[in-house]
Chains A and B, each alone.
Chain A
Amino acid sequence: MSDHGNEAVTRARKQAAAQGRAQGLEIGWTVFSYLLAGMAAYGGIGWLIGRAVHVPLLFPVGMLVGLGISIGYIIHRFGRQQAVERPRKEITGDR
């Protein structure tokens, strides 16, 4: 392969690696946000209902339910590799 060809391949590999890094970071922090958001959302709903019906236990129960929903959704969305892939931008030498 010519020097230009090698250079283009190396550049494309570096770009692919950078793309993977960015995607990994995004997924990692999205998952973390889901875990917090699930607990906060359903913990909050549980707390409100618990306050109305005088059952304080609904607050921790809501948090656990929210955590379960988050984990289930994370598995559904990120469990399969294809589900997380954005439409791939073409990796060409001129990018």
Chain B
Amino acid sequence: MRGVGEVGGGCHIFNGCGFPAPGLQDFNWKPFFTIGSFGFTKPMLLAILAALVVIVFFWVAFWKPKLVPRGMQNLGEMAILAVRDQILRPSLGRRGDSYLPLLVSLFFFIYIMNVMELIPIFQFPVPSRIGFVWPMVFIVYFLYLYLGFKHQGGWGYFKSMIPPGVPAPIYIILVPVELLRFFVFQPFTLGVRLFGNMFAGHLLLTIFTIATWYLLSLSVGLLYAAGSFFLAIFVFLLETLVTLLQAFIFTTLTATYIASSVEPAH
């Protein structure tokens, strides 16, 4: 585990070395151990931990369900109902309840991975490594493609991408745009948004934390360090919101994509 001083290379304003700006090197972790060419790194450990947290939480909550929920079951039910009422039903209605397990798992898995950024010792958002985002995007992507072909048929699904009422010549002009949007940019933006937000958030937190250490001294630098510390706290509070918001957006968009596959937009 790297401390602030170590990440900053032990640099301080009076050491004569410049500001050790954080960068990509702060997202590359030395493997804990290697098996052949495979290195087991900290983000992998955190992803497994996040999955375990979600599994254990819901397992414990619904191990012995009671008619009148108490304790953990109460909390578990609140969590599930929040996803159902705020994310699933607004897009899919009652008929979409069969997708609730997928959306609940996605939401809490992403949220716990994001929130790792804010927990001391862990302090790294797993989705800031884009490799952890793509598998979730591919699950969603293949699911809505499958549902689209299943519910609307091959031709019907393609036709539903362009709403009716568009003149034939315009239709031809729009086909490349629609195909590229649907098959490439829709999943691309779904993944890159989550990655980008968590990457930028972690970078900001690291910058202000290192700057606080770098500027700290018993002189006017104390004021600058205090300013940087204030900003670090501000970004921390902002990130508590962003972690939740990104999980919410990813899951909401998943629900709307499933909805557009199951029932075409008119």
Contacts and interface: CB of A to CB of B under 8 A. Distances in A.
The answer to whether A binds B is yes
A37 B184 contact: yes
Given A86-B266, A95-B93, A36 B252 contact: no
A13 interface: no
Interface of B is mostly: helix
Contact of A33 (B89, B174, B186, B265): B186
A18 B81 CA distance: 13
Interface string B196-218: 00000000000000000000000
Interface residues of B, number: 33
A95 B86 contact: no
B253 A33 contact: no
A88 B145 CA distance: 23
A25 interface: yes
Contact of A15 (B90, B176, B178): B90
Given A25-B256, A73-B177, A83 B189 contact: no
A51 interface: no
Interface in B135-177: 163, 166, 173-174, 176-177
A29 B181 CA distance: 11
A29 B189 contact: yes
A36 B176 CA distance: 12
Given A36-B185, A41-B176, A66-B177, A22 B249 contact: no
19 contacts: A14-B85, A18-B85, A18-B89, A22-B90, A22-B256, A29-B189, A33-B186, A33-B188, A34-B177, A37-B178, A37-B181, A40-B180, A40-B185, A42-B177, A73-B174, A73-B177, A86-B263, A86-B265, A86-B266
Interface of B: 85-87, 89-91, 93-94, 163, 166, 173-174, 176-181, 184-186, 188-190, 193, 249, 252-253, 255-256, 263, 265-266
